[in-house]
Amino acid sequence: MSAAFEYAIRKAGARDVAYNVIISSDENHPYLHYYRHDRILADGDFIVVDAGPNLDYYVVDISASYPANGRFTARQREIYEAAQAIEEACMQVYRPGIEAKDVQPLVLEILRKKGFNVDKDLFKIRTMQTGISHNVGMATHDVSAGPRGPLKPGMVFACDIYAVFPDEKLGVRVEDTIVITETGCENLTPGLPRTVAEIEAFMKTK
């Protein structure tokens, strides 16, 4: 899987990978930067792939989560759809002047309107709230730990929504690289199948 990713990005013109390709599943989910690539996938596994290219000396940070067999269980669907909805809501909220502390209440209001029960413990996990993670630029964790204070046009950072459930041997991560614009934000890493329906349809293709 890692070799296929590296081949694809180099063929497309990337200089290199931005960082070691992270692939976690089963008992390895708690190790968020797991890149030993030493586990044989099994039916029922849920996979998190965190990978990005280095293109013209700038890097991007992307994560995707999906079932190894191409079919979400009810529990996998519940957690994944929450994470994906949070990321979508964050990108509706990000704009110049807003701070991380202001993001979560606005995101929760969007989720309520979509019918999510935001009183569930799932939505109280810190990493399932604002998405504002580390800066991204000429390094994956660029300059400082992450945006602090009000967001400003030109800021580039990882919108990183994730949660790990060790007792269930389950983890999920939905991540894109975002730039703040004059009026809002732009997703610099679009195009992946993101909804459950898109992922399951994609994994049926040859």
For the stretch 147-178, pLDDT in tens is 888 999 999 999 999 999 999 999 999 999 99
**DSSP code of residue 127:** G
Tell me the CA distances in angstroms from 112 to 80, 101, 116, 118, 174, one per residue in order. 17, 18, 5, 7, 20
**Residue 201, pLDDT above cutoff 70:** yes
Domain ranges of the chain: 2-202
Calpha distance 178→166 (Å, rounded)? 29
Among 69-78, 134-143, 180-189, the least confident range: 134-143
Q: Quick one: pLDDT at residue 119?
A: 96
What DSSP string runs through 53-114? EEETTEE--EEEEEETTS---HHHHHHHHHHHHHHHHHHHH--TT--HHHHHHHHHHHHHHT
For the stretch 99-114, pLDDT in tens is 999 999 999 999 999 9
- Tell me what percent of the residues of the chain surpass a pLDDT of 90: 95
| Lookup result for tokens 């991204």 | 136
- Tell me what percent of the residues of the chain surpass a pLDDT of 70: 99
Q: Quick one: pLDDT at residue 148?
A: 82
What three-state secondary structure class fits 163?
strand
Q: Quick one: pLDDT at residue 7?
A: 96
Calpha distance 178→167 (Å, rounded)? 32
The mean pLDDT of 28-50, rounded to a whole number, is: 96
Among residues 148, 147, 151, the alpha carbon closest in space to that of 96 is found at 151
Question: What is the topology classification, in CATH, of domain 2-202?
Answer: Creatine Amidinohydrolase (3.90.230)
Environment class of 146 (CB within 10 Å of its CB; exposed 0-12, middle 13-18, buried 19+): middle
Q: Quick one: pLDDT at residue 145?
A: 63
Q: Quick one: pLDDT at residue 206?
A: 83
Query: pLDDT band at residue 144, thresholds of 50, 70 and 90?
Result: confident
Q: Is the dihedral of CA 202, 107, 162, 6 positive or negative?
A: positive
**Residue 146, pLDDT above cutoff 90:** no
Calpha distance 89→116 (Å, rounded)? 12
Query: Using N-to-C axis directions, what is the helix angle for 100-113 and 74-93, rounded to 10°?
Result: 120
